[in-house]
Amino acid sequence: MKKCFVFLFIIFHLAPYAQQQPKLVVGLVVDQMRWDFLYRYQDRYTAHGFKRLLAEGFSCENTMIPYTPTYTAAGHSCVYTGSVPALHGIMGNNWYDKAQKKVVYCTDDFSVEGVGSKTAAGKMSPRNMWATTITDELRLATNFRNKTIAIALKDRGAILPGGHTANGAYWFDNALGGWMSSTFYMQQLPAWVQSFNSRKLPDGYLQQNWNTLFPINTYTHSTSDSNAYENKLGGVSNSFPHITAHLTGANKYEVFKATPFGDTYTLEMAKAAIEGEQLGKSGYTDFLTVSLSSPDYVGHSFGPNSIEIEDAYLRLDKELASFFTHLDKTIGKGQYLFFLTADHGVAHNPGFLADRKIPAGVVDNAPVQKALTDGLQKKFGIQGIISSYINYQFYLNDSLINANKLDKKEIKNFIASHMLQQTSVLAVVDLENLANETLPQKLKTMLANSYNQKLSGQVQVISKPQWFENWRLGTTHGLWNPYDAHIPLVFMGWGVKPGKLNREVYMSDIAPTLSALLKVQMPNASVGDVITEVIGATPSSTNLSGVKK
């Protein structure tokens, strides 16, 4: 009788209690995905990809990036820390390090070595990121009994979302033609990764060549295939079919990343990770972070109005459908929490817009910078006043300025006067005196969220909408404008009811919202808010994310 009572207690109390948390959280960041791509090609999306996501999920339609410049590393960091560059320390993909007097890369770590490949691509870790991530906080909440696995073709797209405590972060190495990691995480690749690499899938994808999924004359959302706005894939052709089968050497893998097959490969790796790491079966909430880097490579090469991008998203829609089906079967429908977002958006090609009478342009930055450098030398009598210009910021050589007793304010004014003469420039801002600058409050806030006394430059250049520096073919991103800062955000699965929200929310709100859903502490530099409309659909529970199932 006593045994029967215990059995009934477990069935009716502990089992339902354990279901109050998802078995797995999957975060999918689509690199360079504009918000409107959720809808632009919807007439040919399948019922089980993006359409399923919107039908079953909760979409925050007006999600904005709260800082500038808008780059990949800063975006992934913001999504997972709930913070901004001013606080988490990832200023962009690269920035000028004042102490080292050189440009540094976001995930550089020369104290570690590559695992799986001994190239410099392995000297990477999250040590430059000062804050914890939601993935870190979940690991802390479970006393490190759950798992976090992070995957992306780009090192920064895997390393930063995985946080400081990931069980494994994997990125693509051109020399290897497969997935690698670093000694920050492990001493050798797990057997399942080695087995996956042995399949040499990128070589097989390249042999298929890249042609359109549908007849090319049906791609009515895009500019004609052969035009003057696009780069040539692999230096060969900017039009379909893209012949990749003949490529050789490490360069072929660089081309591979700029095809939709990169998404297929990454999601296949994600499926392998679920099996290889037994994600969702630990008895705690595991976390899988996936970043799809190929849309960014394709977009940079061809632009958002290209047939290549349209075809890439039609193919991605099918890959998403396959991935959702896999999650349903392996984890269980309703047992995983999924969210999709982007690290930034992207601008149209300036030439494409100018040809359609929309104000846009490109400035050749080299002569502008040379004229400024020469002017400063003539005015103040010394060389080297500017240490670096990167991320639209001028870094001044403070030690040189102080040693020569120069007037720093006068130098800043000289730079501003010179740059304001350029057609492309909208404003020049003294970041050290941002509070006194006359700017729209929203733009001032974005600049403040990116300013760090140790890591930022002193003078910020703000370009006119749709003006690029040195980028005539394809496209780029990085500015405050909505085309770069308006991103998708859709939650689906465990604890989420279908819905749509049109009020403005921010990229920095994602991690606090996940923290509230999972009932764990938000990351330690988080400045975002919980999106309460998403949380309102959550089952009531006082359970912590770590109850043994």
Structure confidence by residue, pLDDT tens digits, 438-465: 999 999 999 999 999 999 999 999 999 9
Q: In the structure, what pLDDT confidence band is assigned to residue 237 with cuts at 50, 70 and 90?
A: confident
379-390 pLDDT per residue, tens: 999 999 999 999
Cα 465 off chain centre by: 22
- Cα distance between residue 365 and residue 372, in whole Å: 11
Tokens representing 413 are 């004014």
Say if residues 25 and 149 touch (Cβ distance below 8 Å): no
Query: Closest by alpha carbon to 146, among 248, 287, 260?
Result: 287
Q: In the structure, what pLDDT confidence band is assigned to residue 236 with cuts at 50, 70 and 90?
A: confident
What integer is the mean pLDDT of 195-200? 98
Find all residues with CB under 8 Å of 132, minimum gap 6, and list them: 81, 140, 163, 164, 523, 524, 525
With H, G, I as helix, E, B as strand and everything else as coil, classify residue 64.
strand
- Can you give the pLDDT at residue 541? 38
- Can you give the pLDDT at residue 225? 94
For residue 169, pLDDT beyond 80: yes
Q: In the structure, what pLDDT confidence band is assigned to residue 2 with cuts at 50, 70 and 90?
A: very low
What integer is the mean pLDDT of 249-259? 91
- Between 226 and 537, where is the model more confident? 226
What integer is the mean pLDDT of 194-208? 97
Instruction: Tell me the percentage of the chain whose pLDDT exceeds 90.
Output: 91
- Can you give the pLDDT at residue 546? 38
**Host H or E run for residue 471:** none
- Cα distance between residue 28 and residue 326, in whole Å: 15
- The half-sphere exposure of 289 on its side-chain side, counting CA atoms within 13 A, is 36
- Can you give the pLDDT at residue 251? 85
- Cα distance between residue 241 and residue 515, in whole Å: 45
Find all residues with CB under 8 Å of 417, minimum gap 6, and list them: none
pTM of the model: 0.93
- Between 369 and 234, where is the model more confident? 369
**Host H or E run for residue 500:** strand 499-501
Overall residue count recorded for the chain in this entry:
549
473-482 pLDDT per residue, tens: 999 999 999 9
- Can you give the pLDDT at residue 267? 98
What integer is the mean pLDDT of 486-492? 98
For residue 537, pLDDT beyond 80: no
- Between 493 and 549, where is the model more confident? 493
What integer is the mean pLDDT of 29-49? 98
For the chain, how far is it from start to end, CA to CA, in angstroms? 24
503-520 pLDDT per residue, tens: 999 999 999 999 999 999
Say if residues 343 and 72 touch (Cβ distance below 8 Å): yes
Q: How far is CA 344 from CA 289, 324, 428, 477, in A?
A: 17, 24, 23, 8
For residue 549, pLDDT beyond 80: no
With H, G, I as helix, E, B as strand and everything else as coil, classify residue 384.
coil
Say if residues 90 and 128 touch (Cβ distance below 8 Å): yes
With H, G, I as helix, E, B as strand and everything else as coil, classify residue 526.
coil
Enumerate the H helices of 44-185 as residue ranges: 50-56, 72-81, 85-88, 134-141, 155-162
- Can you give the pLDDT at residue 15? 37
Which amino acid does the sequence have at 95? W
For residue 339, pLDDT beyond 70: yes
50-104 pLDDT per residue, tens: 999 999 999 999 999 999 999 999 999 999 999 999 999 999 999 999 999 999 9
Please identify every residue annotated as catalytic. 72
